[in-house]
Amino acid sequence: MSRSKRIRSLSRIAGTVLKHAFLIIMSIISIYPVLWVITLALSPGESLVTPNFVLGFIPVPATPTLAHFIANPSSTCLPERTFRSGLRTA
Amino acid sequence: MSKKSGAGRLRGSGWLFILPALAGLIFLVLYPFAYNIYVSFTNMSVYHIRNYTWVGLKNYVFVLTSPDFFTVLRNSVVWTVANVVPTVLLGLVLAFVLNSKVKGKSIYRLFMIVPWAMPSFITLLIWQSMYNTQYGVINALLGEVGIAPINWLNDCNWAFVGIVIANIWLGYPFMMIIFSGALQSIPNELYEAASIDGAVGFRQMRYVSIPLIRPTILIAVLLGSIWTFNNFNSAYLITGGGPGICTTILITEAYKDAFGGTFAFAQAATYAFLAFIILFIPGIFWNRYTGLTRRAT
């Protein structure tokens, strides 16, 4: 393999690695606050600043619960509100 | 004679066809807009909710001579520029990267659209909690790399940086999607022809892609500027306009005037109309300079 070909293939690999690194970082930035929302939804209590972390930064519910989905007083209106949202979107 | 009446009938039926759209436009856009202008010339407030009277330019004089107005205006302009430039650039870079040969691009695209799928007011409250100086995850992560905690919500400059970061996070998926759509609409033959002429990689982007998606970029910048200038959620939900008026922009000031305790609806309407004028004039120049509507027609 000639030197120029090797350089070209190396630069192509480096480009691919850079692209994936950039996309992975952007994906993490994109979903991180959403993971936090999901964690809070599945955690007991009302606080916004009490998640547990996996690997030091991934938020996970310490004691997962569906209490917020069941005990929420407004959940009785959920079908009606969902219908209204759908109607408005349509 | 019969031809004339035929043309007249055609014109009449034309009006009939546009009547529903025209009615919608009048009742949903023009009337509220005109009413807002009218209210800005009255003393409508919680004390004069029904018996408001015409006060001329009093509200405009009051707003324009208030000591905070130019700070709020400067905040609005800086807020718009600081959001639109990175949002468009980030959206453009991501669109180019995702339009190239990358494995798993649909997964990446899915992840990056996620901010859009969540109600913005929920995610903005999450951002607020992430900015918490003591318990927030951002300071925790910064601490991991040896950076001292930042007082995100109580320091004037950092609060502004904080709401800008959150708004960029909310805004770039839209830019990425519309630029991706524009890039995908470029026929492949053009790239093939460019590569025959020796243009590959960056040159293809520079001489084929960018010129062809230029109209989309121009529209995105215009729409992005209008939406950001009038963006209430990000500018209000994280910091409430504070500390002081550090993160207050025109539209949050209008909200505060209308519903923040004083219920000064006329002043809020004045802010809203001033915001419209401030957006309208550069919008006209942008349209003239770039020929956006000329191209569309």
What digits encode the pLDDT tens for the residues B123-165? 898 899 889 888 888 888 888 888 999 999 999 999 999 999 9
> Residue B90: its pLDDT value, please?
95
**One-letter amino acid of B268:** A
Of B97, B141, B144, the CB nearest to A22: B97
Chain A residues with CB inside 8 Å of B132's CB?
A: 48-49
> Residues A32-55: what's their mean pLDDT?
72
Residue B85 has pLDDT above 80, yes or no: yes
> Residue B287: its pLDDT value, please?
83
Kindly identify which residue of chain B lies nearest to residue A48, measuring between CA atoms.
Answer: B129
B177-199: pLDDT as tens digits = 999 999 999 998 888 888 888 88
> Residue B25: its pLDDT value, please?
93
- A16 vs B: CB within 8 A: yes
Pairwise CA distance, residues B118 & A30, whole Å: 11
Exposed / middle / buried, residue B27 (Cβ in 10 Å: 0-12, 13-18, 19+): exposed
Range of the domain at B191: 67-296
Residue B120 has pLDDT above 60, yes or no: yes
ipTM: 0.78
Q: What is the CATH number of the domain that holds B208?
A: 1.10.3720.10
> Residue B293: its pLDDT value, please?
67
Pairwise CA distance, residues B73 & A77, whole Å: 42
- B171 vs A: CB within 8 A: no
- A22 vs B: CB within 8 A: yes
> Residues A51-60: what's their mean pLDDT?
67
Cβ–Cβ gap A57/B136 under 8 Å: no
- B141 vs A: CB within 8 A: yes
- B132 vs A: CB within 8 A: yes
> Residue B76: its pLDDT value, please?
94
Residue B136 lies in a domain: yes
Compute how many other C-beta atoms are within 10 angstroms of the C-beta atom of residue B15. Answer: 9
- B162 vs A: CB within 8 A: no
The structural domain count of chain B equals 1
Residue A11 has pLDDT above 90, yes or no: no
Average pLDDT over chain A reads: 79
Range of the domain at A74: 3-89
Which band of pLDDT confidence, cut at 50, 70 and 90, is reported for residue B11?
Answer: confident
Residue B37 lies in a domain: no
B14-59: pLDDT as tens digits = 888 899 999 999 999 999 999 999 999 999 988 888 888 999 899 9
Q: What tokens were used for B122?
A: 């929920």
- A27 vs B: CB within 8 A: yes
> Residue A20: its pLDDT value, please?
93
Pairwise CA distance, residues A67 & A64, whole Å: 9
Chain B residues with CB inside 8 Å of A81's CB?
A: none
B91-111: pLDDT as tens digits = 999 999 999 888 888 999 999
> Residues B237-266: what's their mean pLDDT?
89
Which band of pLDDT confidence, cut at 50, 70 and 90, is reported for residue A39?
Answer: confident
- B118 vs A: CB within 8 A: yes
- A30 vs B: CB within 8 A: yes
Cβ–Cβ gap B97/A19 under 8 Å: yes
Residue B223 has pLDDT above 60, yes or no: yes
> Residue B294: its pLDDT value, please?
67
Kindly identify which residue of chain A lies nearest to residue B96, measuring between CA atoms.
Answer: A19
Residue B99 lies in a domain: yes
Residue A38 has pLDDT above 90, yes or no: no
Chain A residues with CB inside 8 Å of B117's CB?
A: 34
Q: Find out whether B173 and A30 touch, Cβ atoms under 8 Å.
A: yes
Cβ–Cβ gap A19/B132 under 8 Å: no
B257-285: pLDDT as tens digits = 888 878 889 999 999 999 999 999 988 88
Q: CB pairs below 8 Å between A and B: how many?
A: 65
Q: Find out whether B162 and B152 touch, Cβ atoms under 8 Å.
A: yes
Higher pLDDT, B46 or B175: B175
Residue B197 lies in a domain: yes
Cβ–Cβ gap B123/A34 under 8 Å: yes
Of B102, B136, B141, the CB nearest to A49: B136
> Residues A58-82: what's their mean pLDDT?
75
Average pLDDT over chain B reads: 89
The structural domain count of chain A equals 1
CA of B16, closest CA in chain A: separation in Å? Answer: 25
Cβ–Cβ gap B115/A33 under 8 Å: yes
Q: Output the pTM of the full model.
A: 0.84
Which band of pLDDT confidence, cut at 50, 70 and 90, is reported for residue B77?
Answer: very high
